[in-house]
């Protein structure tokens, strides 16, 4: 049931980027093929890119659990089909009162649909790494993502 809500909600999230050139906005549903063993990368990720405004949004189960909604990602064009994304997941303090924040970076090839993610947990030496294959989805997918 939660996965169903996640999927239905995901089909709308890219539109949260209220853009003037919505036709240029791109949304992708990414199936994680190589997951990180730390558990900081889920089975699915949704990526929205608005090249006109150099903005993006990202959502997965961890982002939704922490923030309840997709987070904004900074994007930078590397070439005609490859985008660099960066986003932050700011978690609540742990029992030791230390905050755990994730700093995530990705390269996304819009032609092949390949997403390569690398990240780091603040205050730790742990490295997060995963790969995904993405397919285009509705711009409305990411907008509907909310914590249920």
Round to whole Å and give the CA distance between 36 and 59: 16
How many other CB atoms sit within 10 Å of the CB of residue 69?
17
Is residue 19 over pLDDT 60?
no
The total number of residues shown for the chain amounts to: 148
Instruction: Quote the strand ranges of 1-148, DSSP E.
Output: 26-34, 44-50, 55-60, 71-77, 82-93, 99-109, 114-121, 127-136
What's the pTM value of the predicted model, to 2 decimals? 0.73
Cβ pair 24, 52 in contact under 8 A: yes
- pLDDT value for 47: 94
Is residue 42 over pLDDT 90?
no
What's the mean per-residue pLDDT of the chain? 77
């Amino acid at each position: 049931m939660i996965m169903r809500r996640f999927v239905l909600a995901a089909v709308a999230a890219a539109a949260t980027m209220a853009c003037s050139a919505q036709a240029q906005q791109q949304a992708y549903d990414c199936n994680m093929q190589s997951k990180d063993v730390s558990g900081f990368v889920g089975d699915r990720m949704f990526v929205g890119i608005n090249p006109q405004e150099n903005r993006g949004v990202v959502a997965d189960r961890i982002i939704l659990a922490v923030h309840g909604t997709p987070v904004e990602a900074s994007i930078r064009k590397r070439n005609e089909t490859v985008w660099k994304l960066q986003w932050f997941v700011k978690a609540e303090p742990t029992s030791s009162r230390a905050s755990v924040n994730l700093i995530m970076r990705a390269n996304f090839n819009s032609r092949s649909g390949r997403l390569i993610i690398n990240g780091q947990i603040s205050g730790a030496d742990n490295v997060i790494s995963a790969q995904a294959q993405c397919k285009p989805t509705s711009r409305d997918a990411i907008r509907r993502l909310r914590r249920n």
